[in-house]
Structure formats: C-alpha cells, structure tokens
Structure 1
Amino acid sequence: MSHQEHSSQFALLAQRRFAPFFWTQFLGAANDNLFKFAFTVLVTYQLSLDWLPRAQAGLVIGALFILPYVLFSATSGQLADKYDKTRLIRFIKSLEIAIMVIAAWGFFTVNVPALLGCVLLLGLHSTLFGPVKYAYLPQQLSERELTGGNGMVEMGTFVAILLGNVAGGILIATPQVGPQHVAIACLGLAVLGRLTAQVIPMSPAADPSLQINWNPVTETWRNLKLAHQQLAVFRSLLGISWMWFFGAVFLSNFPSFAKDVLHGNEQVASLLLVVFSVGIGVGSLLCELMSRRHVEIGLVPLGAIGMSIFAIDLYFASRGLPPADSLTIAQFMAQVAHWRVLADLCLVALFAGLYSVPMYALIQLRSQASHRARIIAANNILNAIFMIASSVAAGALLSSGLTIPQLFLVVGLANAVVAFYIFLIVPEYLLRFVAFIVSRLIYRFKVTGDESIPTTGPAVLVCNHVSFIDAVLVMAASPRPIRFLMDHRIFATPVLGWLFKLGKAIPIAPQKEDPATYEAAFAKARAVLDDGELLCIFPEGGITRDGTLQPFKGGVMKLLEGKEAMPVVPMALTNLWGSFFSRVESGTAMVKPFRRGLWSRVGLVAAEPLKANEVSPELLQRRVGDLLGRA
C-alpha cells in the first residue's frame, strides 16, 4: 500500500515512520502535565508557604514553564533545521530523564525551590521539542498524509494532557505517599519516552550548513521579521498567541477556582481539567467534520464567538454558589448549579478548539517549507510572551480585588474585542465565515472535483454566473484565498457589496461603458496572477436572467495574454437558479425569502485544468456547459 492509499489517518499508528514519534510526543506531553498539575495541587492544597501564596502558585508555575520559550525558541528553531531531527529528539528525551531525576528528589524531600527549577527545565525541554515536532512530520509524511498526521498528533496531545492532569491530581492526593508516587510516575514516563524515541527513523537535517546565531534577542527578532513577510501567517500567529493568553487564564486558575469558588477538593480541580481537555479535543475533532477535510478558517470567527459567550456565562454561573466544606466529586455533581459551570467550561474549550486548529493549519500550509521550523519557533516566542503577559495581567487583576469569576468575565469581554479587531485586519477570516454559513446553513453545498483547484501557484478559475453569491460559494470550495473579477454593479448591493470590497474583489465594467475601469481591472487581475494567487472570472459578463448559460466574452483571453502555461479551471455552479439570491422570471433577486426553503441542494463541479494556450471562450463555455449537463 502506498503512502497515499491509507484508509484513514489511524493507519499511521501501524507505521514506524509515525508511531514511535507519536508515542514519544504523547508520553512527553503526559509527563509535563502530570508533573505541573501535581506540583500545583501540592502547593495549593497541601503546603502553606509564606513566600508563595496559594492563589498565585498556578500563575508562578505557568510563567516559569513558558519563560524558556521566550529565551530559547529562536535557537531551537535553528537547531531543528541544522541537525538530524531524530538525533535531536533522542537528546531531548535523555535530558527529560535527567530533569525527572532532580524532580524525584524534589518530591521525595518536598523541596519546593528544586521543583520550581524543574518547571523551568521542563519548559526548556518543551521549547527544544516544539520546532522539531513540526519539522519532522513534513519530512516523513506525504502531502496527503500531513493533515491527518497533524490531526493525530493534536488528538494525542489532548488525550495526554487529560491523562497527565488526572493522574497528577490522583497521585498527589494519595495520603502520606502522594509526592513519592508522582516522582516514580514522572521518572517512569521519561524513560518510556526515551525508549520510544530510540525507534524513530532517522530524519536528515534540512540545512546542515546553517550558521547558528546564539544571540536569542537578534535571532528572535529575525524570526519575527521572517514570519511578518507573510501577513496572513503572521496575524494568524498573533491570533493563536491570543488564544494561549485566553486559555492560560483558565488553566492556571483551576485549582484556586475549584477550592475557593466551587468549594471542591483536589478531585474537583482534576474534574475541571478533564472537562476542559475533553472540550478542546471534541472541538478539534469537530474541525475535521465541519470543514469537510479542508482547511476551513471560516471556523475561527465561530470559535471566537463561542469562547466569549460561554466565558461570560461562566461568570454568571459561578456567582453566589452556596458555601460548603471541601466537596467530593459526588457531592459536587449532586448540585445542579455545578452542571452549568461544567457545561460552560466544556463549551469554552470546544470553541477554543474550533478557533485554534484552523489557524495552526493555515500557518502550516502557507509558511515557506524551508523556514517552517523557524516560523513555528516565532509562534512559540509569541505564545510565550502572551502567556507571560496573561500571568502578569491575571495576577494584577486578582491582587487588585477581582474574584476569579470576575477575571473570567473580563477575559471573555476582551476576547470579543480582540476577535473583532483580528477579523477587521484579516478580512479573509470573516469572508470565510460568511462562506461557511452560506454553504452549510443556507444551502446544502456539495463540491465535486475540488482536487482540480491547484494547491499552489497561480491559476484562473472560470465559472458560470447564476446568483449574487456565486463568489461566496466558489470561495467556500477552496481552502486557498481567491480574488474575484466581477461586475461593478454587484458592489452597489447592500452587505454583499461591502463583503466583496473587503475581500479585495476587482470591479469590472463593460469596455464601451467605462474603458478606464475595464483596463484597470485587467491590470489588477494580471498582478494577482503574477503574485501566484488564484483568480476567478465570470466570463458571461453578468448574472444570467433566465437560468441558461450565456455566451462567454473574450475578456478571459485578454487576461491570459502572455501566460501560455497558466492553468485554467472550468467550473460550474449547479441548481442555484430560482433560489433567493438568483434572479427569477421577473428579473429580481433577494425579494422572496425561503423561496425554496432552507438547506436547498446546490453544488459546484470543477473539471481538470486546461493550459491557457489551449483555451478559447467557446471551448470554456462548452466545458462549463458539459459540467452543468453532468450535474
């Protein structure tokens, strides 16, 4: 069986090039979270330290863990490009064993400063591993396997986080011998991770001649400038970093939230983490289902909306809960009011999964392959800066007198403001969200032949023109952004016109009516193709008035002048005639809602690309007509 023929992504777990790496990553994530959560519970519930207040313990531990991301991410990105990734992984896992030996001594002697030092060292371990992880997969997996492989790793990470947190909470709560049990478990997981790393196949260096810049400040700045060269990628990095800011506020405050607000014991704190982890895992899996195996960044606004709604509701759900002694899980679950708290936490996490996974996928798809590890390193740096800022801001707000529920409210409101700003400066997210809503909730949209749309490089998409939302539906069929050449009159349409302007569609007028606009439109369209982007044109020149395919005009040939090898993809929108956004016999559109009811079936069919020197308006019209007849 070739690499491309696997029945599902789970088949990768039977292959040496993936399975040992998967389990190495899984064990490392489980160990990090077992250690951190057990240590947090230890200093929150079992110890009383004047120099480390219980309410601040989670914030301090979280800040120490991510500090190495700021200091060493730039260097780790270079190491991942310069050296064999498998040798690097084995070294990192050996380092983990050494760290856990120190941690075991710290747990056995209950030496809090030593354990805080281990938190810092574990952060360094994770900093080194992050870029290697994202650079290893593209080397070992084919293009068709990459999305599935990344999905498996993300799923495994969420499960590992869940199991690590649960195990940490249970082990540390064992009377008298809890710290010793945690020490043994952490050391055992580190040894297992090193054994699985030994079986990972070799993964040659991408750039052995790379000169390492050991100055973290200048290299960090260089990586951020590198990421900034692709604005959509850079702004997605910022969006992901905000998600970590948002999530860190919740994760670092769960022990105190469980103890001081919900009046629960250590197991209740573990339950909150279980619910949160399950929510993230479910949200991440839903991305695959809701996006129909495409990278669907239209899910990002949906995720942001849900994060704010349920974070705000969590504030109201956790106000005024009756005081109680340390509740067990059974006692906690017996109170109906607590179910709303758990539902809010789960849904906050679920929508965070919908928000973050498409952003990660966009970064992987659009980053330069030769610099992907360093782009990931830049992402880690930004994540760390935002998480440290989260710890500082949350600590300051709590010290100023805010309660933890009020902190959740503030973060939920801030998320709404940040999300609105991101969608204004990166309109592609908003446009894809509209396309997602139209293609999933207004119509039942089926795409056939979408593999004909090139995944890289410039191409011209040629489509029939049936309705005012043709561009939205074509956009929904492609994971890549598309620029549109469309009738200038559509820009006068309320709402839709604003959206198309936001999406940088290019208005075109008939040559006889406005020669200047006509020539300017083609100049802009050719510049789009020169930049390696996709361009869609509707050669009929206007929306059909009777539902039939109109003659194709010669403008498409003007567009293709001097571009003999340019791929031209014929496409056909089907069954749209007679719907709300199309004209009817009266010639008027958008006057009779629910004309065909909700979720009426519409589709798009794409044919194999042609070369520009092979096409003519008549040939393209025949090809589109054939697609309509086939639908």
Structure 2
Amino acid sequence: MASQFQLFKRKRFSSMFFTQFLGAFNDNIFKQALILVLTYSAASQLGVEVSILNNLAAMLFILPYFLFSAVAGQLADKFEKSKLTRLVKLLELIIMAIAAVGFVFEWYALLFVALFLMGTHSTFFGPIKYAYLPQAMKEDELVGANGLFQMGTSLAILLGMIIAGVLTQLPQSLYWISATVLIVAVLGYMAARFIPATPAMQPELKVNWNIFTTSVSIVRYLYSLPFLFFVILGNSWFWFYGATFLTQTPEVSKVILHGDESVVIFLLTLFSVGVSIGSLLCKSLTKNQVSLRLLPFGIAGLSIFAIDLYFSLSALTIDTTNSDTLLGVTGLLAISGSWRVFVDLFFLGFSGGLYIVPLYASMQAYAPKSHRARIVGANNIFNAIFMVTSAIFAIAILNAFAMTLPQLFLITGLLNIAFGIFLYLKLKKHIQHAVIQTHDNSDTINACDTQSGKA
C-alpha cells in the first residue's frame, strides 16, 4: 500500500492531485458556508423557508452538470489539459471574488450566482482531471492514482465542511469566509501551474456548443459502448447511494442520536475515513491491475452495513427526558449500542471505496482515447441525474410513504443488492469485448516526468 504514495514524488501526479484537492476543498467551504448562512440568518431576513433556500442552493450547484458536461468533455478532448486547467482555475478565482463581494455585502442573489458558476467550474474541471490520469499515469499506476484521488476528494469534502463550520462561528465570519475562499482559489491556481503538458487527444475536433444536441450525442455514443455504459451506471449508483445516506446525516444525528453539531461532523468523518482507507487499499488488493475483482465485495459491504444500520439505529435506546440537552460525541459513545452505529457508518464508507475505485479506473482505462474526456462528461451527466433522483427517492420514502430514516437505509441497502447483481452480471458479460486503452502512453509519461511545469 505504501508504494502508491510514491506517486506524490512525481510532478505529473502531485500537481493534478493538489489542484483537484484544493478545488474540492474550496467547493465545500463555499457551499457549506452558504448553507449555514442561509439557515441561520438569510432565511429570516428574506422571509423564506430554510428548506426552500437550501434546496435551491443544491439545485443551482448541480444544474451545470446537466447543462455543460458534454461541452466540457469536448473541450478537454480538443485542448491541451494543463493550459485548460489553468484557465478553469482562473475562473475559480473570479467566481470566488464574486462570492466574497456577496458575503461581505450580504447580497444573497449574487451568492446564488456564484454558486451556479462554481458548479459550472466543477463541471468543466471534472473531464480534465479524470481524462488526465490515464494519459499521465502508467497502466500499473492507474488504480493507485484513482485510490489517492478518491481519498483526497473524500477528505477535501470533509475538511471543507469542517472549516466552513469553524469560520461561521468566528466574529466577522463573512469576512473570514471571503478571505479563505479567495486564498484557497489562489493556491489552486498555483498548483495548476505545475501540471505538465500532455498532448491534446483530438485537436481537430469541432466543438458543438449546442448543449442539448451534444449531450444527446455523447449519451448515444456511450450507449454504443455497453461495457463503459454499465461502468458509468455503476459510478452514478454510488453517487445516488452516498447522497441518500449523507444528506440524512444531520437529521440522524439530531433526531435519532440526539447529538449536537459535533456528532454530525463525527459521523461524516467516520464515513469519509472509511472511503479513504477502502480507496487506498484497492491498489494492493488488485495488485496494481485495472480489475473488477473487488466490485462484489464493495456491493456486498454497501448492502450488509446499510441493513445492519437499520437494526443498530432501531435498537438504540437514548434517554430523552431532558430533550433540550443534545449529546456530544463523548456522551454518545457512552451509550450502549452506539458503537455499532459508528462501525456500520465506517464500513459503509470502506465498502464504498472498494466499490468506486475499480469503476473509475475502468472508465478511464477502457474509454477510447479520442473520446475519453467526453466519456467523463457523460459520466457527470448520469451522476447528476442519479443525485437528483436520490433526493426525490428520499423525499418519497420519508414523506409520501411516511417511513423512518432507518427504514430508508434498509430499503436502500436492499435495492443495492438487486442493482449490484444486475450491474456485476452486465459488466462480466460486456468486458469480454472491451479493450484497455492505456498501454501505449509511454511517450506522454516520459514527457511528464522530464518536463518542468510551465506558467
């Protein structure tokens, strides 16, 4: 396992890793800070329900993935990726400057504009970073690189949410938030300056700027590659699954565990650390090979620990005599049965790491080089659809059918069994006709290893 950390010595890996880490970190500082500001001050000032503002915020961030992913994939296939990354990071600086003005002057409409633009920034960066990895990594480095990327993303999300929570508690918090997102954007741009140049995969490509026809076109193309189509369905199911659980974390903490804000962070930490460890182990467990051998274990774990979470939460007994006093992490740890809940959440994340890394590595390795970034763009479209479906699914289960949170987790775990069996059988069937596309990128790798970062 230790050998994959040697990749940090390679500029071709470390430069893109820290660029994407800082981008995800800034995304989550900004999003979480905005949600907290909307929840605790903006809603009362504007006379609008908190749930409406928070759902609007979630929609505005994810909308660009529907609209622009196919165009973003075309651009990442057509142009050299290091220059394109620096342009995207400059865009992030501009967006964060807009956000800073919105925070300082409490112009919430401007903050919503910045949120939409930040979603747009992430939409255009996604195809670049995931199409870059198979181009810059050796074939036996790809699984390890994806494991580190997944670990980095999980930790960036967690740390971003924690930092946002800390900043909102400070005096003059809006100024602190503004300064932080600007500083992180500057650091992200500086990291991007060290990314080595890689050849454009299809420089002669004529970009179709019609967001609707190009989206339909890339989804049709993806459907013509059945193995990749089901890999991306599997990727998107992970986002459906993760969103279903993580979105409910604050309510589980408050309503079922009677925990305070520190418990929310603790639960998110358990899940994120689980994902990180599972992701890092993928390299050792697959012996550096792009392989789906871990997928059944990931599928099984996601179901086993979701179902057990239903039983552990249902069996938990907490004295609510003094309902005004919420428990901290230490108080909750002293309650019989709470450890089982925490173990379930950790191993849910761990199973998710075993599940998602082989799928991401397969998506990159098997995608045709000329269309690799567009395949990632199609993946982002499906991810967005599945995440929105997750929200509708949770609302239906909890409201329309008046079920409990543990019952939601039970149903999701049972659905995962059915979907997991379907997915694995389809992938086993179609992998026989799929060909790994990463075997002849030695020239790119050598160039990345010897070339210094260009401004």
**TMscore range, shorter length:** 0.7 to 0.9
Structure 1 counterpart of 2:50, which letter?
P
Among 77, 98, 102, the alignment partner of 1:106 is 102
Tell me whether 1:66 sits opposite 2:36 in the alignment: no
Give the TM-score, by structure 1 length.
0.63
Alpha-carbon offset, residue 90 of structure 1: 1.0
Q: Is residue 84 of structure 1 aligned with residue 80 of structure 2? A: yes
What amino acid maps onto 1:404 in structure 2? Answer: L
Alignment of structure 1 residues 465-544 onto 2, 5 Å: 481=432
d(CA) in 2 for partners of 1:406, 1:80: 42
Write the distance in 1 (CA, Å) between the matches of 2:236 and 2:199.
30
Equivalent AA in structure 2 for residue 399 of structure 1: N
Question: Could you tell me how far 1:287 is from its partner in structure 2?
Answer: 1.8
Alpha-carbon shift at residue 295 of structure 1 (Å): 2.6
Query: Cα distance, 1:212 vs. partner?
Result: 0.7
Deviations 1:286-313 (A, max 9, x none): 2223222223312212211211121122
Judging changes above 3 Å, is the alpha-carbon distance between structure 1 residues 47 and 327 closer, same or farther for their aligned structure 2 residues? Answer: farther
Task: Say which is worse superposed, 358-367 or 40-49, in terms of deviation.
Answer: 40-49
1:448-503, CA deviations, whole angstroms, 9 ceiling, x for partnerless residues? xxxxxxxxxxxxxxxxxxxxxxxxxxxxxxxx75xxxxxxxxxxxxxxxxxxxxxx
- Superposed displacement of residue 330, structure 1: 2.8
Equivalent residue in structure 2 for 1:16, among 8, 11, 16: 11
Unaligned runs of at least 5 residues, structure 1: 1-6, 430-479, 482-530, 535-631
Residues 437-456 of structure 1 mapped to structure 2, 5 A cutoff: none
Query: What is the CA distance between 1:176 and its match in structure 2?
Result: 4.3
Structure 1 contact 33–161 (Cα < 8 Å) conserved: yes
1:118 corresponds, among 114, 119, 122, to 114
Q: Is 1:418 aligned to residue 414 of structure 2? A: no
- Equivalent position of 1:150 in the other structure: 146
Which residue of the partner structure matches residue 537 of structure 1? none
1:600-619 matches, cutoff 5 A: none
Residue 273 (1) aligns with residue 273 (2): no
- Judged with a 3 Å threshold, the aligned counterparts in structure 2 of structure 1 residues 327 and 181 are, in CA distance, closer, same or farther, namely farther
- The letter for the 2-side match of 1:73 is S
Q: Which residue of 1 aligns with 2:398?
A: 398
C-alpha distance 341-119 of structure 1, shift in aligned 2 (>3 A): farther
User: Structure 1 12/350 Cα, relative in aligned 2: closer, same or farther at 3 Å?
Assistant: closer
Give the CA deviation at 1:219.
1.1
Give the corresponding residue for 1:369.
369
**Aligned counterpart, 1:555:** none
The TM-score normalised by the length of structure 2 is 0.86
Name the CA distance, whole Å, in 1 between partners of 2:334 and 2:307: 24
CA distance in 1, matches of 2:242, 2:289: 26
State the partner residue of 1:357.
357
Distance in 2, matches of 1:232 and 1:99, equals 37
Change (3 A) 1:343 1:145: closer
Q: Does structure 1 residue 255 correspond to structure 2 residue 250?
A: yes
Residue aligned with 2:206, SS: coil
* Residues 86 and 202 in structure 1, CA contact (< 8 A), matched pair in contact too: yes
| Residue pair 1:17, 1:140 contacting (<8 A) in 2 also | yes
1:206 and 2:201 equivalent? yes
Question: 2:241 aligned to 246, 255, 263, which one?
Answer: 246
Aligned partners of 1:131 and 1:376 also within 8 Å:
yes
Alignment pair present for 1:331 and 2:326:
no
How far is the alpha carbon of 1:45 from its aligned partner? 5.7
8 A Cα contact 2:26 2:184, kept in partner: yes
Cα deviation 1:488-540 (Å, max 9, x = unaligned)? xxxxxxxxxxxxxxxxxxxxxxxxxxxxxxxxxxxxxxxxxxx7889xxxxxx
- Which residue number corresponds to residue 346 of structure 1? 346
Q: Distance in 1 between matches of 2:354 and 2:152?
A: 17
Cα 1:259/1:105, change in 2 over 3 Å: farther
CA distance in 1, matches of 2:212, 2:110: 28
Aligned-partner residue type, residue 131 of structure 2: A
Amino acid at match of 1:97: L
Report the Cα distance in structure 2 between the residues aligned to 1:407 and 1:111, rounded to whole angstroms.
37
Q: Are the equivalent residues in 1 in contact too, given 2:303–2:413 (CA < 8 A)?
A: yes
Query: Which residue identity is paired with 1:381?
Result: I
- Give the whole-Å Cα distance in 2 for the aligned partners of 1:29 and 1:165: 11
Contact 1:171 1:181 in 2 (8 A): yes
Alignment-derived partner of residue 493 in structure 1: none
Q: Which residue is 1:159 aligned to? A: 155
Match of 1:51 among 33, 44, 48: 48
Identity between Structure 1 and Structure 2 (%): 43
Q: Is the 8 A contact 1:162 1:278 kept in 2?
A: no
CA contact (8 A) 1:45 1:266 kept: no
Compared with structure 1, are the counterparts of its residues 257 and 182 closer, same or farther at alpha carbon in structure 2 (3 Å cutoff)? Answer: farther
**Alpha-carbon distance between aligned partners in 2 of 1:322 and 1:246, rounded to the nearest angstrom:** 31
Residues 322 and 103 of structure 1, relative CA distance in 2, 3 Å threshold: farther
Q: CA deviation at 1:63?
A: 3.4
Q: Which structure has the greater CA radius of gyration?
A: 1
Describe the SS at the equivalent of 1:402: coil
What are the Cα deviations for residues 259-292 of structure 1, in whole angstroms up to 9, with x where unaligned? Answer: 3332222222111211111011111122223222
Q: Check the 8 A contact 1:227/1:233 in 2, yes or no.
A: yes
AA paired with 1:312? I
Distance 1:199 1:291, change over 3 A: closer
The whole-number CA distance in structure 1 between the counterparts of 2:435 and 2:50 is 55
Q: Which amino acid aligns with 2:66?
A: V
Tell me the amino acid that sits aligned with residue 48 of structure 2.
Answer: W
Name the amino acid aligned to 1:343: V
Which letter does structure 1 place at the counterpart of 2:167? L
Q: For the Cα contact (< 8 Å) 1:169–1:266, is it kept in 2?
A: no
Q: Is the 8 A contact 1:41 1:266 kept in 2?
A: no
How much has 1:159 moved relative to structure 2? 2.6
Contact 2:270–2:342 (CA under 8 A) maintained in structure 1:
yes
Assess, with a 3 A threshold, how the Cα gap between structure 1 residues 239 and 331 changes in structure 2: closer, same or farther.
same
How far has the Cα of 1:41 moved from its partner? 3.8
Change (3 A) 1:307 1:138: closer
Structure 2 matches for 1:164-179, cutoff 5 A? Answer: 164-172=160-168, 174-179=169-174
In structure 2, the CA distance between the partners of 1:427 and 1:153, relative to structure 1 (3 Å rule), is closer
The answer on whether the counterparts of 2:318 and 2:335 sit within 8 Å (CA) in structure 1 is no
Q: Secondary structure at the match of 1:273?
A: helix
Hey, what's the Cα distance between the residues in 2 that align with 1:411 and 1:45? Answer: 31
**Unaligned 5+ residue runs, structure 2?**
437-455
Partners of 1:16 and 1:210 in 2: CA distance: 28
- SS of 2:288's equivalent? coil
How far apart are the structure 2 equivalents of 1:225 and 1:314?
39
Contact 1:166 1:274 in 2 (8 A): no
Q: Which has the higher strand share?
A: 1
Instruction: Please give the alpha-carbon distance, in whole angstroms, between the structure 1 residues aligned to 2:239 and 2:98.
Output: 29
Q: Could you tell me which residue of structure 1 aligns to residue 453 of structure 2? A: none
Find the aligned partners of 1:9 and 1:82 in 2 and give their Cα distance: 30
532 and 240 in structure 1: CA distance in 2 versus 1, 3 angstrom threshold: closer
How far off its partner does 1:348 sit? 1.1
2:279 partner letter:
S
Matched to 1:171, the amino acid is: L
1:9 touches 1:148 (CA, 8 Å); kept in 2?
yes
**SS of structure 2 residue aligned to 1:18:** helix
**How many residue pairs were aligned?**
427
